[in-house]
Structure 1
Amino acid sequence: MGSHRRGGTAAAVVAAPSVRDRYFDTLRAVALVRVVTYHTFGWAWAGLVFPSMGVMFALAGTLMARSLEGPAPKVVRGRLRRLLPPFWFWGFFVVLAMLFHGWMPGRQIVYWVVPLGDPPGNAWGAQAYEILWYLRTYLWFVLLSPLLLKVFRLAPVPVLLASLAPIAVLQFLWPGPDGRLGSALWDLSTYLFCWILGFAHRDGVLQRLRPAAVLLLSLAALGYGGWYALAHQGEYGTYDLDEIPLAQAFWSAGFVTLLMWAKERFRIDFAGLTRFPRLDRLVTVFNARAVTIYLWHEIALILAVPLIDRLWQVPAFEAYLPLESQWFMFGVGWVLIAGFVLVCGWVEDVAARKRPRLLP
């Protein structure tokens, strides 16, 4: 099974709708903030408060269903075009750094070109590249979406409910193969419901369901996911959802269903966000640079450590700055992320065939 120290996000991140939906934009921005927060503090309860990956896959599924109103090959190519150039740009620096730190690549380096499997590397670079499980899973969902959407539209509600079956099979009946294929199967199964939930939202299926049924099933999924995480702490050593795929799948299913259903039921659009120009602008930047933020945030947190070590050597900083605080590292990390957005974010514009800009 692959690394589940996750909480991470990007690429519903990869495609933004032409007409902005500020509710979805805000959810995406919150998910990115939660990812960085989790990777800074490691709070086990973070996934229970906001399952960012489930949210991001559901948003991506919605956008994919919307795009597939056009020719499927063109849509898939467009998604790959938006995702791969930022990945290649980031990967060039990570691979080069690992080579300088003794890494000897083999033929599996091909996964650094198209991440259909987990890209290889050495222990020195592991913290930087372990987040790539998300891009690998997103890529597979994109490739499978034309077929998944056809199957979903044959029987929307039964297919949506059945999408939780694969993770149960892997958990209780068959653990899947070892290696890259096994990791991919576990991650795809964990978030399959959320991706198809995006289809259901796009097609208006959630709007047609009875509120009582939605609430009952969502709360049941939340209850089961939460119970499984808490009841199996001894087995996993934590109740962190990112370490427990079955709990993650059911908790995310219930949580994200409520978020998507509430949007349509109560017509939530967050249009009032425009009354707060700075916050509205921040949400815009987060969405337009989501891939950049996701890919570079771990490197920013890695670089924050030696940078803070240097600050200890300045007596005034040592006396007046909370250099030992993780919150200070969190702040330094965001300063460095902002720098990466300015220096590297233009690659997302190029990938989207837009004029490169420092900030969108």
Structure 2
Amino acid sequence: MGAHGAPRGRAARPAGEDSRGAAPAGRDGYFDLLRAVALVRVVAYHTFGWAWAGLVFPSMGVMFGLAGTLMARSLRRPALTVIRGRLRRLLPPFWLWGFFVVTAMLLHGWMPDWRIVYWIVPLGDPPGSAWAGQAWEIVWYLRTYLWFVLLSPALLRLFRRAPLPVLALSLVPVAVLTSVPPPEGRFGGALTDLATFLFCWLLGFAHHDGVLGRLRPLAVVLPSLAALALGGWYALTHQARYGGTYDLDDNPLGQAFWSAGFVTLLMYAKEYAGAVGPVRSRLVTVFNARAVTVYLWHELALILAVPLTDRFWEVPAFERYLPLESQWFLFGVGWVLIAGFVLACGWVEDVAARRKPALLPGGRAARMGT
């Protein structure tokens, strides 16, 4: 440890100085890897339905934490410029995906109400038919992300007034909403999602501003382990309240505390070990440059993988030699279809980011955040 408690592997910062003074020019290899792992875990969870997957790697908490870091970095520029940039990068891929989902629902007899405006800007949950529920229910993440983006200028100012107290108190809203039920319906669900992942978003601020880097290991590890213990205990002991499962996706309080502890340790590991070099894996680069495309289209890919696999049974050689009854085979077919969607639709992310469209990214390293 350095004289001022800075982790080994990096220079101690002078008091009052943070990482805003010298932003890295390229991408962060460690964070890019975490984002890629998070996306793979999301697809695996939606394929196999493993309740334990969120305990092994809480993908949504990780993704909100990484997004908070990038948002704090971007807010060195005027807030309106940053918000417009985030909207510009998010909405075109969402519109392209939404066009196909909405069209399919209309062809199957669905008729929208005024809430169809949320298919233009997902500030609320967009309406949809039960027939396509598996496809559109994932929009909750985009809705929550968008609200965090809009609230970030105010949240960042509040955080910088008292970083550690604000970070600790950010777990209070989800505890309150667990004790006092939130309003019913979509508004209550949106409020709960914001409360669940507020800590992770602010943790991204703490990483960017160097707050984590100035803490001694025990000051980080002990509270993180306590949060993990509380989140895990609550998930395991309150299964009856959440459908008889310890799945964190069904348990806001368990999710909030488990993600808080887990993501804090992941981010502090980077601070403690020092800087990670630039992205060198083409696959990780593709995952990060096409993160919105992978997330939006993966459920459609998994839906289409089922009838496609059923067709394989009609070919005697496939029936004999391929493990068609295995969920792992379905998982593989799903990834083939995801790859197809990335090739067919991923270029929209380039256009939205004002980059030259590419079939597959991975040439010159992209810069972080806009």
Scaled by the length of structure 2, what TM-score is found? 0.90
Which structure has the bigger radius of gyration? Answer: 2
Work out which of the residue numbers 74, 89, 95 in structure 1 matches 2:81. Answer: 74
In the TM superposition, residue 213 of structure 1 has moved relative to its aligned partner by 1.5
* Structure 1 equivalent of residue 93 of structure 2: 86
Q: Quick check: 1:103 aligned with 2:110? A: yes
In the TM superposition, residue 235 of structure 1 has moved relative to its aligned partner by 2.2
* Structure 2 equivalent of residue 132 of structure 1: 139
* Structure 2 equivalent of residue 290 of structure 1: 291
Question: Which residues in structure 2 correspond to 1:105-124 (within 5 Å)?
Answer: 105-124=112-131
Find the aligned partners of 1:343 and 1:176 in 2 and give their Cα distance.
41
* Structure 1 equivalent of residue 341 of structure 2: 340
Amino acid of the structure 2 residue aligned with 1:89: L
Find the aligned partners of 1:194 and 1:260 in 2 and give their Cα distance.
10
* Structure 2 equivalent of residue 163 of structure 1: 170
1:202-253 per-residue CA deviation (whole Å, 9 max, x = no partner) reads 0000011221111110000000000000011222210011110100000000
1:117-148 per-residue CA deviation (whole Å, 9 max, x = no partner) reads 10001011100000000000000000000000
Amino acid of the structure 2 residue aligned with 1:336: L
- Percent identity, aligned pairs only? 77
Q: Quick check: 1:34 aligned with 2:35? A: no
In the TM superposition, residue 161 of structure 1 has moved relative to its aligned partner by 0.3
Unaligned runs of 5+ in 1: 1-16, 275-279
Find the aligned partners of 1:306 and 1:317 in 2 and give their Cα distance.
15
Work out which of the residue numbers 247, 251, 255 in structure 2 matches 1:240. Answer: 247
Find the aligned partners of 2:152 and 2:356 in 1 and give their Cα distance.
29
Find the aligned partners of 2:275 and 2:267 in 1 and give their Cα distance.
10
* Structure 1 equivalent of residue 6 of structure 2: none
* Structure 2 equivalent of residue 188 of structure 1: 194
1:235-287 per-residue CA deviation (whole Å, 9 max, x = no partner) reads 2210011110100000000000001111011115155x63xxxxx00000000
Work out which of the residue numbers 254, 257, 260 in structure 2 matches 1:253. Answer: 260
Amino acid of the structure 2 residue aligned with 1:359: L
Q: Quick check: 1:176 aligned with 2:176? A: no
Q: CA RMSD in A?
A: 1.0
* Structure 2 equivalent of residue 147 of structure 1: 154
Structure 1 residue matching 2:263: 3-state secondary structure: helix
1:219/1:126 CA distance change after superposition, 3 Å? same
1:5-49 per-residue CA deviation (whole Å, 9 max, x = no partner) reads xxxxxxxxxxxx861110000000000000000000000000000
* Structure 2 equivalent of residue 25 of structure 1: 32
Amino acid of the structure 1 residue aligned with 2:254: A
CA contact (8 A) 1:262 1:268 kept: no
Amino acid of the structure 2 residue aligned with 1:122: S
* Structure 1 equivalent of residue 216 of structure 2: 210
With CA pairs under 8 Å and 6+ residues apart, which has the higher RCO, 1 or 2?
2
Amino acid of the structure 2 residue aligned with 1:311: F
Find the aligned partners of 2:69 and 2:115 in 1 and give their Cα distance.
33
Find the aligned partners of 2:324 and 2:221 in 1 and give their Cα distance.
46
Q: Which runs of 4+ in 1 moved over 2 A?
A: none
Amino acid of the structure 1 residue aligned with 2:56: V
* Structure 2 equivalent of residue 60 of structure 1: 67
Find the aligned partners of 2:187 and 2:63 in 1 and give their Cα distance.
22
Amino acid of the structure 2 residue aligned with 1:102: G
CA contact (8 A) 1:22 1:269 kept: yes
Find the aligned partners of 1:159 and 1:208 in 2 and give their Cα distance.
17
* Structure 2 equivalent of residue 357 of structure 1: 358
